[in-house]
Chain A
Amino acid sequence: MSRSIVPETIARQPWQVLIPLAMLVALGAAVLYSAAGGHLQPYALNHVLRFCFFLLAAVILSRVPRDVFKLAAYPIYAGILMLLVLVELLGAVGGGSQRWLNLGFMTLQPSELMKPGIVLVLARFYDTLPASITASWRGLVPAGALIGLPAVLVMIQPDLGTALAISFSGVVTMFLAGLPLWWFLSAVGAATVVAPIAFFTLLHDYQRNRVLVFLDPESDPLGTGYHITQSKIAIGSGGFFGKGFGNGSQSHLDYLPESHTDFVFATMSEEWGMLGGLFVLTVFAILLSWGLRVARNSTDRFSSLLAAGMAATIFFYVAINLMMVMGLAPVVGIPLPFMSHGGSSMMTNMICVGTIMAVSRWQRRPTGLS
């Protein structure tokens, strides 16, 4: 394939990442096809179509110049924050909690948008912050407020998983921005003190219960522990080569809950075995190392922080989801990127990918250098 016959726009895309990613989405579609009992509807076809749509969106996003990103950072953040408040108000009016806005053609979860949003705004914040005061309180307090505001709004929805994801992305960005290490160490120290208190005061009963059951799944084999137990059975019974496509009894006979969303990795592992699992891990390794490489290769602070933060956001999804399905973390409602059925998750993750693609593009065409 010589450069001459392939249009430059296409050749320029990061194919070393997009091809493995497409394969991962294809595997996801196959698993969803099987989970639907051998039907494209309602999961598999949608999954692929969404990927195609958001891939196109990501490519378009990647063409947006750095200056536009920088300019739009605060307005976008403010907009998402408004949406979060709006959701909260609608929930209060409608009675009960609500996490999404119905836009007619799709339902939008503003909290999902906030995950890349927080990275964007923090990258912009530290980009403009003079280096000399980065290590002072002026580098910490505004950033803390930028993270804390949406995190609290999402927390009261209540959506613990997303609140954690937003905080995680933000904190990693702060860490990379060069805030003093001992701040983070003392925060970890404080967290170990505060966590038990928060556990008994801030968490809802069902959330607390999930954590307790995680610590001892056998204590409640038919209740909350059921999820973890059944997921481990699905993964463990798959063995190295799996039971074969379409032969997963755990998912097909409904023993595995949420077999097409949060526990899609267990569904996959049962049928494709450890081999399939290693493939998934490899694709994520390629994706995330690409993200970090792009960040390290960027010469300017905004681009580096942006790309690394986006990679951290994807990483958080992957790590928490996989740890959950394998019984290493409590059950929190976090889907697996590119495999779980669900539009919001696909959108968030493709925004992250698109942003990294954009950063990668800025390196090659350093025209936007300010």
Chain B
Amino acid sequence: MKFLRPRHVSMATLRNSFDRRSMVVGGIQGGIGVLLASRLGYLAIAQNEKYKLDSESNRVNLSLIPPRRGWILDRHGSPLASNRADFRVDVIPDRMTDEAQTIGELSKLLRLTPVDIQDLKDKLEKSHGFAPVEVASGLDWDRFAAVSVRLPDLPGVVTQRGFSRFYPTGPSVGHLVGYVGAASAEEYEKEKDPLLVTPGYKVGKDGLEKIYEKELRGYPGARRVEVTAGGRVVRDLETREDVPGKPIKLTIDGPLQDYASRRIGLESGAVVAMDCQTGDVLAMASMPSYDPNSFSDGIGRIEWKMLADDDHVPLRNKVLRGLYPPGSTVKPMVALSFLEAGLDPHESVFCGGGLRVGNRVFHCWQRRGHGMVDMAKGIYQSCDVYFYHFAQRIGMDPIAAMARRLGLGQEFQLPVVGQSYGTVPDPAWKKRKYDRDWAIYDTVNATIGQGYFLVNPLQQAVMASRIASGRKLLPRLLHSDHPPQAASLGISQEHLDIVHKAMSDVVNGPGTAHRAALPMKDILLAGKTGTAQVVGLNVGNGKGGLWKHRDHGHFICFAPADKPRYAVAVVVEHGGGSGAAYPIARDVMTYLFDPTKAVEVLHDYEKQWGGTAQQRLDAKYRAYSAAYASGAPAAPSDERVQAADQAPSPNQPILNDAQTPPPEPVALPPSPPNTATPAPAINIAPPPGAD
């Protein structure tokens, strides 16, 4: 191999080679110089536009200013939900370098309790990195400033002055208005709006806040700032103001809503008040409730423990989701169907305390019997035998038709997250549902609002308002200055007058609820009591014993009796009978005519109950914090909380045996506080289908 043999190399050839090779080296150096110059030209000239843009987007940070949420107003224009100026601190998990250290520092600066820290850790665990997690809001200036000045040492921490949602009456509007919270990952995935992951921005999670999210949201403002790579703001460049969301004006009367909610007191119940001329819903209260103010930063462990422990189901909106056998409150409705079917209101039947139907005896609540009973007495004395007797003659179909005409079993066009509309049973329904023929005892049960009959409190209020007005009123939540005129139901005025008189006699005459009379001489209340059995008499008598076994109390009413203006329906779950319901109805109705008088009564009660609903909730929170500290189980995700919220009524037992309706009680004193031990739930029958 020729080139492996060393060539002859002399000093001269080396010199020669150096000259040539140094030329090559110089050439290569020059070549690389030209390459660098052209690369420079390419970057600085050809790509200049692109890199200018990149440099600007580095330098300028566009931060969104969350829009102020539209207010939710009552019919007088006072806020049920407003915004208040707020100092807040959030963390963005992705940007934190040392999570434990940052949280430790923050809890010192913000003076967080162990419960707060535990809740924060729970939230961080569930968070999705890019989405901000609220550490604290509603801070005073000192604590806010303490964090703000240390921001350079706290990567991932964001301080902000902004607005937070404020519900002045707290728990009173919980179920009606709903609450707001940070957008979940699913919500962000759906909308892809960067606003949703802007610190401090909240979306409606329930109720009206959720339904009217689009209207309430508004448009975000924007702030262009010059920032360093580390995120420190150097200076403001430009600011565009946000456009606040539109206000929503409701038909709700704010003070009445608050009054009704508080008047329910320690009971688990619902109150609906309606305007008999327009169908406006004036109050829609479900208690116990939650405080929407404290939900907006997420549901903490203590809050969840309180909700989970409460057998009164604070998360359920009982007005729309609670289904109850209506009991005797259906009797005016049944009477109207009798009248339309041609029954002479003066035709009487003898009540000896019971009626044999087939081979069973159906008892009247009044075991001693009512003697001769006509329609008026059947209503004001709530005589069951009268209805057992004539219902068999008239048949179920006209009764069911009248029930639907008056709103029972109906779903209404309302801006709510869900309604359970219950059951108005009739032969066709039973055939469809159970594939069994309608039996005579089904009619007998239905006619006193038991058996398969299930309604929600809103339907009962609609029924009361339709009986009162004779018009096909539709409940409305959105206020308008020109409410639509409701059409007539086509029920003769003569029939209505008969029923109105009898309902007035319930309260003002020889009826079952004379203590429901209004404390005003000139305004008469007309109403109807109802007591619905929950368990058979073999389990309990419905009056005492386990809370879960007590009868539901109902009352529907309207006033003034001669010229109906307002209608109210009250349900008290396991209240032990209608005696728990009508004092509430009376006071709510009193409030509509004379607020001062009504409030005095409430204040006396609240002294016994241990404060307003808000105060009791706060006290309970403190007690739970002390008892469990951070040891309570973690709250589930938003979605699960909402699912709990929307669950329909738990198993309402259907009592199809021959029944002895519970006695219509005389007015009872306000029920004592429930015992602390929760009653175990007992399922007697499978849940009825809500169809």
A-side interface residues toward B, CB under 8 Å? Answer: 131-136, 172, 175-178, 180, 182, 230, 232-240, 249-250, 253-255, 269-270, 273-274, 277-278, 281, 284-285, 288-289, 292, 295-296, 301, 304-305, 308, 312, 315, 319, 322-323, 326-328
25 A-B pairs with CB atoms under 8 Å apart are A131-B13, A132-B8, A132-B9, A132-B10, A172-B25, A178-B13, A178-B14, A232-B43, A233-B54, A235-B51, A236-B52, A238-B44, A250-B59, A253-B58, A269-B40, A274-B40, A277-B37, A277-B44, A288-B26, A301-B15, A301-B18, A319-B36, A322-B36, A328-B35, A328-B39
Residues from chain B with a CB closer than 8 A to the CB of A277 are 37, 40, 44
Contact B44–A239 (Cβ < 8 Å): yes
Contact B3–A253 (Cβ < 8 Å): no
Neighbour of B44 across the interface among A133, A134, A177, A235, CB < 8 A:
A235
Contact B50–A236 (Cβ < 8 Å): yes
Contact B40–A176 (Cβ < 8 Å): no
Known: A274-B41, A296-B22, A301-B14. A237 touches B36 (CB 8 A): no
- Interface range on chain B: under 10, 10 to 19, 20 to 34, or 35 or more? 35 or more
**B671 proximal to A (CB < 8 A):** no
Interface of A is mostly: helix
9 other contacts beyond A132-B6, A250-B58, with CB at 8 A cut-off? A135-B7, A135-B9, A178-B9, A232-B51, A240-B44, A253-B58, A304-B18, A322-B36, A328-B35
Contact B7–A326 (Cβ < 8 Å): no
**B674 proximal to A (CB < 8 A):** no
CA–CA, A140 and B175, complex, Å: 90
Q: B residues 2-29 with Cβ under 8 Å of A?
A: 3, 6-11, 13-15, 17-19, 21-22, 25-26, 29
Binding-face segment, B146-154, B226-234, B327-335, B409-417: B226-234
- 1/0 contact trace for B365-406 toward A, CB 8 Å? 000000000000000000000000000000000000000000
Contact A249–B7 (Cβ < 8 Å): no
Interface of B is mostly: helix
Residues from chain A with a CB closer than 8 A to the CB of B25 are 172, 175-176, 292, 308, 312
Contact B55–A288 (Cβ < 8 Å): no
Known: A249-B58, A326-B40, A328-B39. A239 touches B48 (CB 8 A): yes
**B32 proximal to A (CB < 8 A):** yes
Nearest CB in chain A: distance from B332 CB, A: 72
Contact B234–A253 (Cβ < 8 Å): yes
Residues from chain B with a CB closer than 8 A to the CB of A305 are 18
Nearest CB in chain A: distance from B231 CB, A: 10
**B33 proximal to A (CB < 8 A):** yes
Nearest CB in chain A: distance from B355 CB, A: 83
Most buried by B among A134, A236, A312: A236
Nearest CB in chain B: distance from A255 CB, A: 5
**B47 proximal to A (CB < 8 A):** yes
**B45 proximal to A (CB < 8 A):** yes
Identity of the chain B residue whose Cβ is nearest the Cβ of A253 in the assembled complex: B228
**B610 proximal to A (CB < 8 A):** no
**B30 proximal to A (CB < 8 A):** yes
Neighbour of A288 across the interface among B9, B11, B29, B41, CB < 8 A:
B29
Nearest CB in chain A: distance from B42 CB, A: 9
Known: A292-B25, A326-B40. A253 touches B59 (CB 8 A): yes
Residues from chain B with a CB closer than 8 A to the CB of A254 are 228-230
Contact A315–B230 (Cβ < 8 Å): no
Which 8 pairs show the lowest CB-CB distances between chains A and B?
A236-B51, A237-B55, A274-B44, A178-B17, A254-B229, A237-B51, A236-B43, A249-B59
Nearest CB in chain A: distance from B46 CB, A: 9
